[in-house]
Amino acid sequence: MQLDLSGKTALVTGSTQGIGEAIAAALARAGARVAVNGRRADAVDEAVARLRAVVPGADVVGAAADVSTAEGAASLVSALPRVDVLVNNVGVFGARPALEISDDEWRRYFEVNVLAAVRLTRAYLPGMRDRGWGRVQYIASDSAVVIPAEMIHYGVSKTALLGVSRGFAKEAAGSGVTVNCVIAGPTHTGGVEDFVYQLVDRSLPWEEAQREFMRVHRPQSLLGRLIEPEEIGNLVVYLASPQASATTGAAVRVDGGYVDSILP
């Protein structure tokens, strides 16, 4: 299967590290022009340089903006008015006892994890629909379905993305634009390494700490390991491709079998 995104412009929010950077690299390998987004211009520039190094000949541009604010989203859209593939990846997470999550923290999680994606979808979906082709994706999490006791605010924000995705898919119905949610399982990133060490003995070597985390805190995983970011990127590229033209309004799992369900 040849997944060719030549001639398409893709925007990946929160793509200066981790899953977002891996998604940006995967889209670039498929031939897309990729806009790398992050809040800090220096971090964006560094990520652009890394992507150009790992994907020779890649067409990569920087798009520094804080999309968790209306002003930041507007500035990004002004600088990048046309997008064919929108990957709403930006997000925050962290452990917090349920009864200690303040109103302000709940609001912050919804501003970053939900409203940033809503704003950009509102901005870019009309153009995609007018052109008769486009792809909108939301990077959700197994936590959307299996709400973790140690971070319910994160889980609930990802649950909201499932509804956002399905709703905008109905808005795009019959237009040639597909809208989908990617449910990512426990994934190996720098931020997740920090999170793992919040929950297991910090003196353990990483491989042992990872195994202990999965055994104690994510025993449902059928992989028994953390997913690599590139594995998330592979699914995103497929959903962005012409070959995925009949997949829309879906929540597609790349979770290592973590969610105990026979349905997608």
252 DSSP β-pair partners? 182
pLDDT digits (tens, 9 = 90+) for 90-146: 999 988 999 999 999 999 999 999 999 999 999 999 999 999 999 999 999 999 999
187 DSSP β-pair partners? 227
Encoding tokens for residue 145? 């379905």
**Which three-class secondary structure string do you get for 196-217?**
HHHHCCCCCCHHHHHHHHHHHH
154 is catalytic: yes
pTM above 0.75, yes or no: yes
pLDDT of residue 14: 98
Q: How far apart are the first and last CA of the chain?
A: 22
Structural domains of the chain ordered from first start: 9-186+230-254 (3.40.50.720), 188-226 (no CATH)
| Residues 6 or more apart whose Cβ sits within 8 Å of residue 241 | 3, 4, 5, 30
Question: Of these residues, 109, 124, 138, 154, which one is catalytic?
Answer: 154
Dist CA 39 CA 32 (whole Å):
22
Q: pLDDT-based confidence at 225, cuts 50/70/90? A: confident
Dist CA 188 CA 198 (whole Å):
15
| Residues 6 or more apart whose Cβ sits within 8 Å of residue 5 | 27, 30, 31, 32, 85, 237, 240, 241
Average pLDDT over residues 4-22: 98
Dist CA 1 CA 20 (whole Å):
24
| Residues 6 or more apart whose Cβ sits within 8 Å of residue 102 | none
